[in-house]
Each structure stands twice: as C-alpha cells, then as structure tokens.
Structure 1
Amino acid sequence: MSEETWSAPQLELEAVIGFNGYVFSGLSVHPDKTHLIYPLGCTVILKSIKDGKQEFLHGHTNNISCIAVSKSGKYIASGQVNYMGFKAEIIIWDYTQRSIYAQLVLHTAKVEALSFSPKENYLVSLGGQDDGSIAVWNIEAKQAICGSPASPHSAGHCLTVQYSNTNDNIFVSAGSGTLRVWELDLPNRKIQPLECQTSKLKRIVRCIEIPEDDQFILCGTTSGDIMKVNLKTGLLSNYGPVKTKYSLGVTALKILKSGNILVGSGSGCFSLCSGTNFKTIKQVNLEKGVTSIAIRGEGQQFFVGTEAAQMYRFRYEDFKAELISTGHPSAVKDVAIPYGTSELFATCSYEDIRVWHIGKPKELLRITIPNMTCNALDFMTDGCRIISAWNDCKIRVFAPESGKLMHVIHNAHMLGVTAIAGTRDCKRIVSGGGEGQVCKKLQLRLTQEDKAMITCIKIKSDDKECVTASTDGACFIWDLVRFVSLQMMTANTLFRTVCYHPEEHHIITSGTDRTVTYWNVYDGSTIRELKASQSGPINGMHISQDGKHFVTGGNDKMLKVWDFMEGVVTHVGIAHGGTITSVQICTNNRILVSTSEDGAILRWKFPHPSSS
C-alpha cells in the first residue's frame, strides 16, 4: 500500500450482506444473548439480534476459518487461512472494547479450530492439514504454553477441538482416524493424550460436543451416526442411529438442558433427537448442509447456519425455521443499481440473481437458474427489466418485481455471454461474449474485430456509440448506428473494466496492469496513467454521476475512491476478505456497493455526496 493510500481517510462501512456458512461452528450467540457472532471474509461481524445493527472487527489479512467465544463472553477468538508456507494468525478480541486483545502466530497455512477453557485461562488451537499441531495458549501472558502433533503418525487429519466445561486442564480433539482426550501438565509445559477406544467402529469425526457435567463426548461422524464416548475412560458407550443414518454425515451438534440433542447434517436435515437412543423427535430440511448450531440462553431459541450462507431462527416449542439472513455462498460476479434510485440493487452469482433492499439490507427477490452462472447484469433505464448474461450462451430478461422470465435470447454468444448493457431508450441490448463478439439487437453481429473475451460494455448517453473492453488489451468505440468501429485503444494488459466520463470526452480503463488509464475518445490517445494497486488486477470500477470521483477495487481487496481531476485517492475501504469483483455508486452519490469472491456484499457511505 502506498503512503498516499495509508494516509487517506477510511470509508464508512454501513452494512455487510453475507455469512461464510462453510466455516464449521462459525455462527455463535454471545453469552449476553443480544448478539450473533459470525465470519465473512476477513471480518468478524457482531449483529444485534433485536434490531440487526452490525459491528465489525477488522484485523485479519485473509479469510477467517474458525471462531470461538469464551464462556463469559469476555473474549472472542478467530483464526484465519494463509498462503502455503506462511503463518496463519489467531486474534483474541476484547468483546467489551471491540478491539484486539492479542495476536498469536504459530500455525502454518490454516487455523482449523479454537476453543476456550471454562475459566478463560487458556485457548487451545488446532492447525490445518499442512500444520497438524495442537497448541495451548496462556491468555493473560498472550503466549503459547505447549504444543504437540494433533494425531498419531499413522492416523489421519484432526478436524476439531473442544474444551471441557469444568476443567481448564482437559480438552478433546477429533478427526479422521483420531479421537483423543488431552490433559494439560502445566508444571512440565506438556499435554498428554489419552487415545479413545471405539472398538470396531472406525469413523471420521466432523464435530464434537461435551455436556455441562463433562460425563461424555458426543461425536458427529461423516458416516451419518453419533458416537457417545465416556470422557474419563475414553471408551465407547453407545452410538446411533443404527438404521436411518444422517445423509452426508453429521456436521453440527448441540446438547440441550433436557439432554436431547440438536443435530445438523450435510444434506441440510436439522433434527431434534433423543439423547438416550438418538431417535428423531422433530425434523426440518434446510437449504444445503448445516454447519453451525448456536443456542441462545437456556435453549428455548437457537440459530442455525448453512453452507447456503443462510441463517435460520428456531423456537423449541414449534421447531419451525424462520429465515433471518441470506447471502451468496459463492463469488458475486456483478452488481447493478437502477438508474435514479438508491433503494434497490441487484447482484449475480452462480445459479442466481438477487435483488436487495439497500436500507435494510434484505433480500427481496431471488431468480434461480440451476447449474448456470450469471456473469453480468444490468437494469434497463426505466427499471422495468433486468437483463442478464449467462455462461450457457443465453441472455435472459426478467421482471425486477416478480422475477418472471420475460425473454430469452438463445445462442447469443458461442462461448458464453460475459458482458451486457442496455440502451437508454430501453429498446436494445448490447452484449459481449467469450469469443470476442459484440452483439446488438438480439442476434445481430456488430463486430468480430475483438478476438478475446469481452469483459465490459458501456453505452454512450445518446445510444449511438458504445465502448467495449476485452482481455486482449484492446478497447473499441463502436458506432451503434452504422455498426463500425470508430476508435481503438490498446495497452499491454487484460482489460477488466471501462467507464465513460459523464461528459463523454474521455474514457477510463483498468485491468491486470494495475493501472487506471484516461483516454481521449476522439483520437484514442493516452491522457493520464495512475498506478491504482500495488498488487493484483483492478476488476471493478465505476464513476460518479457528476464525474468528480471514481471508485476502483480488485485483487488487493481494497476499495479506493479517487478524485478524477487530481488523480489522487481520497478514501480507502478495507473490509473485504476476498478479491473485489465489482463496484457501483448509486445515482445520487450517497451509497457505494462493492462485491467480492467470498460472496460478500458491502454497503458503504459514499464520501462525496451530490450537492443536489
């Protein structure tokens, strides 16, 4: 990051849409019963259960892989992933101060799991498959006490750890071919394992749960059953269900005060079952695999997180699922805000388009096309249609209120539709494809001069010209009346995005060379070049309606607001945990929306509102 960027003021983050449902036990309820705690990208989010207000804990440099909350709620711990060969950091947060208490570094590549001791003296951490070690940390000293390989050499990969509820010196680890009860020998700075004996039952344990009295360990297995192991002796005492196992394995467990068990499976089945014979009492089916179960208070209310990036609320009495939060479980490809409004916006991803209310933020509409990816979308200027570009070579047009399919253009591009834009008169669509063609008026070929994938299309306000960017380093300005190219601009880069300045005398481009370039529309000459990133391509760019500022975002995960005339960064947004894929400023310059590869949608307060 340049010195100029470091000194720029921070953008104000207003809301985050999304939840990393792939993090096992990633969703928790704080012991104060007022906040949900969960990860998204490199951010820990604290969300008020009552009013939905969000707070953000920033500090991680890469995606969060695990979260733990201490018994009193004084501390939150989060671990992250990192690149191969690099250390993965653990952060202990002070919940009251909403600040970093300690930063701990030991494990390589990934922190797999974390758990606090009951008296909050210690934190146990488990490294990922490339690390394979367990470490016990003294929280007050902020140092590691001791460590050990998590599994015997002949065993497989350890997947989870869980501390005892009554003893600061006892914790359990489990995974593929390993189930161990560990005892901390503090005077000798060692941890000693007891190998649990499960007889002929050979299982991969995905999750563990220990009741408040520490009498036994419940182990959810990838085989779809639950093992009950005596914590003191390490011997198997029971298992089940024997006949009807949970499809795609048991992925989450919680023991209720009554002794009954909440069970989540990889197929999305969520059940209440008997703690004695594992027989199902109640059951519902949720979208995709259950990865988190979080109990609020005495268990009258609980929350469930799934791989579909969705959160559900349940009441014990009726056991009915209330969907309280949704998000994209995969990379968001594009974002669009209707012209003249700041109330709605739309995003697209694998299998769907979603329309959101900006203020809440809340999902209003989901349009699903199974097994297909929507690469780009746009609202027609009148707001009556959503036009969308899909990888199955089709352009689909939807009604934005009902999601009804209004029109399909088949075989629009041979290698998939990769870019799309609508004219101001709302009568025509211009699209680009993977083979380099640009099409207008449904299937009329406009050009074949581009030989590489079209990444971005912008149409001039009079609908007579458009500009296209492609991955062969060429930008063309096209005459949409005579179907000929008017100007070509080339650079040693793969262009990712292009924008007309509102006065339309200039365009700005960006791409893999990390540079924003200003071009003269009339002669194709370069006017100015700005180094927009120190690392990685610029994938998203948008210019404000008044032309005074523009925004960039890319692989460096940083959102930057620029002064167009001065060519300097005015504000920086640092909250994305994944590569930024697209950015959009609403028409009145009040809201800025950015999206990323980790499925996150972030709403920022735009720092330069219009005077009107």
Structure 2
Amino acid sequence: MKFAYRFSNLLGTVYRRGNLHFTPDGNCVISPVGNRVTVFDLKNNKSETLPLATRHNITCVGLSPDGSLAILVDEEGAALLVSLIGKSVIHQFHFQKPVHCVCFSPDGRKFVITKDNVALMYHAPGKKREFNAFVLDKTYYGPYDETTCIDWTNDSKCFAVGSKDMSTWVFGAERWVNLIYYSLGGHKDAIVACFFEENSLDLYTISQDGALCVWQCDTDLDGLKPRPPKDRAEDKNESIENLGEEFIEEPKGEEIHGKATTNEKERRDKVKYSRAAKYFFNKEGDFNNLTSAAYHKKTHLLVTGFASGIFHLHELPEFNLIHSLSISDQRIATISINSTGDWIAFGCSGLGQLLVWEWQSESYVLKQQGHFNSMVSLAYSPDGQYLVTGGDDGKVKVWNTSSSFCFVTFTEHTSSISAVTFTSTGYVILSASLDGTVRAFDLHRYRNFRTFTSPRPAQFSCLAVDSSGEIISAGSQDSFDIFVWSMQSGRLLDVLSGHEGPISSLCFNPMKSILASASWDKTVRLWDMFDSWRTKETLTLNSDVLVVAFRPDGNELAVAALDGQITFWDHENAVQTGSIEGRHDLQMGRKELDKITAKQSAKAKSFTTLCYSADGQSILAGGLSKFVCIYHVKEQILMKKFEISCNLSLDAMEEYLDRRKMTEFGSMALIDDGAGDEDGVAIALPGVKRGDMSSRHFKPEIRVTCLRFSPTGRSWAATTTEGLLIYSLDSGLIFDPFELDIDITPSSVRKVLSQKEYTMAIVMAFRLNEKKLIQEVIETVPCNEVDVVCSSLPELYVEKVLEFLASAFETSHHLEFYLTWAQQLLMLHGQKLKTRSGKLLPMIQFLQKSIQRHFEDVSKLCEWNRYNIKYALAISQQRGMKRPAETSVSEEELEDSNSDYLMEEASAHS
C-alpha cells in the first residue's frame, strides 16, 4: 500500500486538439488532453482525467447517445472503445489510417467514421461483451478529397458527409429506393460543417470561406421508401465494377459508390435538393477563415468560430445575428453545444484554452487555460489543498487539488518562472523569475504585495524560504551570488558570495536556520543564517550539482549531481552517508534525430529534481526521462518506477529506431507531412494533399521538471511535458490486513459489536482492515461513549483511527460525530503522539486538510444564511414601520435602502 501510487489526475492541460463533447445531460464536457481524456463536471465544479491513454495524441472523440460509451481515435488511426461508467477500455481497434471524424447515430445502433475520402459505417457495440465490437456494415464512396464532417438525421435514416473537394454528400444509412446518395455543390472552399434540420432532410452546409448554403429537400423523412431484399451476389457484382484499387483491402461489408448509373424512371422518383438561400459571414481580414461550427437543432442556434478567435451566434434559417464576441487571438478549433442549448464550449488548441459560455446571460461557466509553454516548477501548500505552478510563459497559477481547477493566475512576471514556493502559513506564494524579480502574492486579496530585486540586474534560477516565512533567498545564474531579503520589510539583508558557478538550487533546513546552496562549481555550501551569514560547511562533489533537498526532519541532505548520482550527507559532520547510482534507472529514449543510441545517450543524463517523501524514508527523483523513480533512502535501492507517459507523439519516448520510419533519404522526421491547413492556411499547389513541404513540425521532448510530495503523504505531483500529473494512493485496494488472526472475521467483529464491546470491535476491525467494516463499527459507537472508547484504545491503534478519520472526512456527512472522535483522541493521547510527531506529521496534515475544507464550505454557507436572515429582518422591519406611519415608500427606494444596508454589513464584515 505504501508505494501503490496510481495516476489520479491531470491538471494544467484542459484542451490540446480534437473535438469537444457535452454529455447527454449537458452538465459535463469531455475534452481530449494529449493522449488522455478529461471530464469537466460543470455542475459540481470538478474535473477528472480518465486513467487510460492512447499511444498517440487523440484527434477525434465519438460519444454514444446515452453517454455510456466513447470512441477515442488517435493520430495513427488506433481506436479505443471506452466505458465512461467503468472508466476502462472495452475494446481496441485500428482503422489503419488517420480518422477525421467519428459520429454515432441518434438511435445508438450505428456509427460512422471518415478516413481519406471514404465513410465507413459500423454496427455500434452493444451492452453485452463481444469478441469484435466493431463490425463493418457499409462502405460509402463519393468525395474526391478528404472528408471533414458528419451529421445524422434525427431518425438515423440518413447521414451527410462534407469534404475538402467543396462538396457535401447525403447517404442513406439503410437501403432506400429513392435515396442512395446525393451530391451537393455550391461552395468555393472546403466544407467545415454540415447539419440536418430537425426531423427533416433539409440541410445546412458551411464552408471555410464563410459561406452558408441552405438546402431544401422535396421529400420528408417518412417519404423514404425501403428497398426490397436483393440477391447478395448480384448486388456485389454491380458494386464491384466501380471498386477503387485503393480500397480493395477494406474488410467485409456492403459498398455504396456515388458513381452508379440509374435509369430515367428511378431518377424521377428520387430525392431532390434545391438551394433555398446562400449567406456570407462578415469577415475581418483575408485570412480570417471559418474554422469550426456547431448547430443546435431544437433552438435553431448556429455557432461559428473563426481563425481570429471571433465567434458568431446566428438564428437559422433566417440567418439573424444574435451575438458576436472574441475570446482570444487564436483560431477556435472546435465548438460544441449542450443538449438544452444554453451552454457553448469552445476549444483553442493554440492557447490550450477551454471555455464554456452561457450565451443568454453572456457569462462564463468555465474558463480554463494551462501554461502556454511548459511548466517549470510546482509547490504544495502546507495543508495539501492547493498547488502552485510556474511556467516558461511567466505565469504563476494556483490549483485546487480537490476540484482540479485553476482559480487564480498571476501575470506580473515578464519572463520565465524558475521557482515557486509557499510560505509556512499557506497564504503567501513566492516566485522567482529570469526577469530579475522575486514576487510575493497574497492568496487573501490575490495581489502582488511585495517585489524583491537585486542591486544589479540578475537572473534568479532558484528560490527558498525559511520555516518562519521571514527570510527569502534566491540564487543567481549569472552573478553566482545568493540574495537574502526580509519578508517583513522587503529590504535586501545580505548578498552571499563564494560560489564560482551558477547557483542551481537552494533549500532551507526545516528545523534549523541553515541554508544549503548547490552550484555548478561542484560544491554544496551550508550557510548559517543566524551567525553573520557565514559559510558553515562546504561539501565537495565530483560533478556539477543540480539539486539539493533536506529531509523533513532536517537531519539529512540529498544531493543530485550531473554524473547521475544521488548522494546523502550528514550535514552536521560533513560526512557522506550513502549514494545511489541512478543513471541506469533513467532509461532515456532515443530522439528522432539522434545519431547515437538511447543507451549511449543515457550515460550523459542525470536527475534534475529531488523530493523526500512525507515520512522521510524514501526519495522521489526525476529528470529528462519518462520515468520517475522512488528510492528507499536507508537501503539505497529502487522501490518503484513510474512511467508518466506512453504518448509516442512526444519525442524521446522510444528506445530503438523504428525501421518503418526510415527511408533511403533518412528518418521520416526530417520529411514533414506538414499541416498546411491546420492553421487555416490554404494549400498552395493543386493536387497537394499533405500540406506545404517547407513547413516543419515541433515534437516536444518528454521530461520531468519538478517533483513534490504532498504534505499529507497521500499523493505526489510532477510537472511534465504533458502537464501537471498527480499520482495518489490507490483507494480501490480494500483488503490490506494488519496483524490478522484466523479468528477475526466480519461475523466475529459484528458479534463483539452486538455485545457492546466497542474497543475490542474497533481493534478487530482494524486488524481485518476493511474500510466499510471499520466505518460500520465506529459509527455504531454511541456519541456519549466516544471518550470512554478513545481512552481505552491501545496506542498503536490511535494513529490508525486518526488516519481513518482523515479519509472519512472527505466523503462522510457526519461532521460533528467525527469531529468529536478527533477531538477526544488528540486530547487524550496528544502527549504520547508528540514523541512521534515526525512520523505522524503527514497523517496530522491529512486530517487538517480534510477538516479545513469542511470548515471553509460550512463557513460560506453560514455567512450566506446569516445575510439572508438579516435581509429578511430588514424587509420586515421596514414594512412594520411603514404601516403605522401610513407613509408611501416606492419599491425603488425600498430596494435602494436594502442594498445600502447590505453594503454596510458586507464592508463591516470584511
């Protein structure tokens, strides 16, 4: 259980690429984040990243009508069938080529995917377990270029497919006499979206140049005539005449071609379309292409997004402009509307931005954006409720660990952030930047209240704050000095000189006033903060020092150097107590353009970030690798390795070269397929399908820039190329016995409990260690006997009961009952627990975090109720004064007086 950390959540990345989906109830947004999927719960203000991943970045997501299944397709065409209820992978499938779009039919029986210029219709997987969940039903040929979009009619009888060849094709999902296919032109650019009108075959088509065509059909949905069964062999002979060589390898299924010949009588009876109207969007600039669109059929609301970040709301079919707004200066990649038509979700891949907008009230339901560039540093608050991150974009973001949302962003820095940290109170954040400033931010008023600078401009590469929060130090990478300031006065106290290379890391001893500084000059210096800032000791190493970290009790110092070693020091006596050779555990991957093997490349790699666990028994290490290692400090052995990513869309992921990517001219990485139309840039040459050959792609390299353990010891976080990853202890592991005996069973525990021997029942339940049974036993204890049971508990079980209470606070509603338990245990056993405070600190902080969260929720509710009662009393008093005086007071005056009264109360309270 101690090292059973599993992937828990992904923060800092809210949208990468692909399409957004609202769940059928309209309360959640499903967003692809790299090779994972995050579900944003808008009602409860929470987000959760599913514990599954594809091998490459996800490009399109298909959601079943009931919201229980989803199909995730990555860049290579590999698909995962995912259960959103069980959050697990049901089936894997490979479409062999990149897929442009996936769409389920409204009845949930079929789904269509488009790849190249073909549409493939599959039988949708059912509720039962199947050997092959994806069974091909029909293959539809027609467009001459790549397909871009799909839309179904309400009764699932037909679907439309848009293409880059400026045409839209309407296909019958079943065998109809009067509709096999229909091709619609009328556009001068690639089709971006096509939408059927509700309960009709009428169609809207939208092209990239901002043109909207309204197509009317002369036949209703009920007018489609089913074709009688036909001999299968004859049908196959008819269709194989026009079979393209390119698609001979397609699996079995009926094929429908858009080039078949028909006789004159059938042509007269067939479905016909006519263009009723053509509208144009007002565009600002020549390159403001229309990039995405969504249509809500019930409310007739059309939402269109443009490359300049502007979106329009129109009412169809009259094309009345309702609203126009700009959300950024980047292209809007995808749009989705929820089932009620109230909320609109926008995704901007350029900024990694996700917005949910309520158009009627013109307010944001959700507005989240990750760091524009990679994250560099992170820190936990002392109670573990908040996380702060700093990025290369100069922003400092604060995240709530329970909701996974960023609730404040500080943008005062003008250059990359190098380090962030919390003070011991948890209400002040400090950040160091390459712009030459260290800034202090207040979490009460959300402002930058203190800025620390050096006499001469210096780029600060590291930051540390002492346990009292009064002394701030920052190391420079260009002047080789360490600057020390006072938080209270903001004055520069001293400049510590002595290092002969850039300062790489700083760390204060948690228990003493000692500062450890690491430098590229192969030394670690220990400075006494109370004794005239003098150097207390100098530790010499064999290589450049990259990072230092003190153990939570302050008795040991861990140092990581450029040679890949982690050394442990008794800093009081300047004696090395142990070392770990970690170079072999990094297992660097080979970059696409590397000319040496991954094994040779790993010889020059090292750990760049260290962090002790909450109990100090193990250490977490990471660097330029996809692996994070946990080492046991005393035994100096590797306990576990975590692979933080399996995303092959990132660089340095594969250990060996893939021969399939090698050509006679070298690696395929040197020859970019390009994404000529990815940013709305039109393809320059006719016949070129793969973009401009002069464009080059950028593949970010997988790396871990910072690691931190939560003060509660229940989780740890890492800033990586993928985002802010959080790993926590697996709560699903129920059976973890403790001193288990053969006589201890759930029935025997309940038998003892029925005899009202509560202490014995609690001890037996903890020895069996099943959470539900422990909860049942503790909640059976009468409230007036809690103090008696707590006083008779053995000392060994006091810690276990406190740990259970901390976890129970997160889910249980019995706040007063569990608070009584916690109070009695701490009052009766507090003196004994003090002797083991070092080991019990993570558990106490976990308990404090749970209580603090409930305290904040209840206090907000009480304040809201108090103001409501005061408002009601003010209204009743004014009405009571009005009757005897028989004065006439207008409603406006009454509202003004009430608002003034509430403003006075609020100002007095604040």
Flag the 1:102–1:312 CA change in 2: closer, same or farther, 3 A. same
Which of 60, 67, 81 is the aligned partner of 1:66?
60
2:120–2:139 contact (8 Å) kept in structure 1: yes
**Residue 30 (structure 1) aligns with:** 23
User: How far off its partner does 1:508 sit?
Assistant: 3.2
- Cα distance change on mapping 1:431 and 1:317 into 2, 3 Å: closer
**Does residue 341 of structure 1 match 2:383?**
yes
Q: Shift in Å at residue 362 of structure 1?
A: 3.9
Partners of 2:5 and 2:715 within 8 A in 1 = no
Q: Which residue of 1 aligns with 2:301?
A: 260
Is the 8 Å Cα contact of residues 413 and 433 (structure 1) preserved in structure 2?
no
Deviations 1:201-252 (A, max 9, x none): 3x4555555545453343353x5x2433759779895231246689844333
Q: Report the counterpart of residue 583 of structure 1 in structure 2.
A: 707
Q: What secondary structure is seen at the aligned counterpart in 2 of 1:321?
A: strand
Distance 1:269 1:422 in 2: 44
- Closer/same/farther in 2, CA of residues 291 and 506 from structure 1, 3 Å limit: same
Greater share of helix residues, 1 or 2? 2
TM-score w.r.t. length of structure 2:
0.54
CA RMSD of aligned residues (A): 4.4
1:319/1:501 CA distance change after superposition, 3 Å: closer
After superposition, the Cα gap between the structure-2 partners of 1:194 and 1:420, relative to the gap in structure 1 and judged at 3 Å, is farther
Aligned to 1:272: 313
Distance 1:150 1:93, change over 3 A: farther
The aligned counterpart of 1:372 is 415
CA positional deviation for 1:542? 1.4
Residue 528 of structure 1 corresponds to: 580
* Structure 1 residues 430-441: aligned runs within 5 Å: 430-435=473-478, 437-441=480-484
SS at match of 1:351: coil
Corresponding residue to 1:459 among 497, 508, 511: 508
Deviation of 1:396 after TM superposition, in Å, equals 2.5
Cα gap change, 1:468/1:249 in structure 2, threshold over 3 Å: closer, same or farther? farther
2:577 is equivalent to residue 593 of structure 1: no
Amino acid at match of 1:568: L
Shift of 1:327: 4.1
Greater Rg over alpha carbons, structure = 2
Matched, 1:564 2:633: yes
> Which protein is richer in strand relative to its size?
1
Normalising by structure 1, we get a TM-score of 0.77
In the alignment, structure 1 residue 299 sits paired with structure 2 residue 341: yes
CA contact (8 A) 2:501 2:519 kept: no
Q: Work out whether 1:227 is the aligned partner of 2:216.
A: no
Equivalents in 1 of 2:547, 2:561: separation in Å? Answer: 7
State the partner residue of 1:161. 149
Superposition deviation, residue 254 in structure 1: 1.6
CA contact (8 A) 2:64 2:104 kept: yes
Which residue of structure 1 aligns with residue 467 of structure 2?
A: 424
Picking from 136, 145, 161, the partner of 2:120 is: 136
Change (3 A) 1:233 1:600: farther
- Are 1:477 and 2:525 an aligned pair? yes
- The 2-side partners of 1:552 and 1:389 are apart by 22
Letter in 2 for 1:286: I
Q: 1:533 to 1:252 in 2, by over 3 A?
A: same
- Structure 1 residue identity aligned to 2:31: Y
What is the letter of the counterpart of residue 516 of structure 2? C
**Using CA pairs below 8 Å that are at least 6 residues apart, which structure has the higher relative contact order?**
1
Give the percent of matched residue pairs that are identical in Structure 1 and Structure 2.
Answer: 15
Which residue matches 1:94? 83
Q: Partners of 1:446 and 1:150 in 2: how far apart?
A: 74
- The alpha-carbon deviation at position 56 of structure 1 amounts to 1.5
Give me the whole-angstrom Cα distance separating, in 2, the residues matched to 1:150 and 1:555: 48
> Is 2:385–2:402's contact at 8 Å kept on the other side of the alignment?
yes
Query: Would you say the 8 A contact 1:77–1:92 is kept in 2?
Result: yes
Aligned to 1:544: 613
- Paired residue type of 2:93: L
Q: Residue 457 of structure 1 aligns to which amino acid in structure 2?
A: L
Aligned CA distance change for structure 1 residues 420 and 499 (closer, same or farther; 3 Å): same
| Cα distance in 1 for residues equivalent to 2:77 and 2:537 | 51
Q: Quick one: distance in 1 between partners of 2:453 and 2:396?
A: 19
Asked if the contact 1:333/1:582 (under 8 Å) is kept, the reply is yes
Seen in structure 2, the aligned counterparts of structure 1 residues 398 and 280 have a Cα distance that, compared at 3 Å, is: same
User: Quick one: distance in 1 between partners of 2:70 and 2:355?
Assistant: 22
Question: Pairwise mapping of residues 396-407 of structure 1 onto structure 2 (< 5 A)?
Answer: 396-407=439-450
SS of residue matched to 1:372: coil
- Quote the offset at 1:292 in angstroms: 3.6
Question: Partner of 1:489 in structure 2?
Answer: 541
Q: For residue 68 of structure 1, what is the amino acid of its counterpart?
A: G
Give unpaired runs (5+ residues) of structure 1: 1-6, 82-86, 127-131
Q: Displacement of 1:466 after TM fit?
A: 0.9
The counterpart of 1:507, out of the listed 557, 560, 565, is: 557
Kept in 1, the 8 Å contact 2:142–2:169? The answer is no
**Letter of the aligned partner of 1:549 in structure 2?**
S
Give the count of matched residue pairs: 574
Mark the CA change 1:20 to 1:341 in structure 2 (over 3 Å): closer, same or farther.
closer
1:103 counterpart residue number? 92
- Is 1:286 the counterpart of 2:327 in the alignment? yes
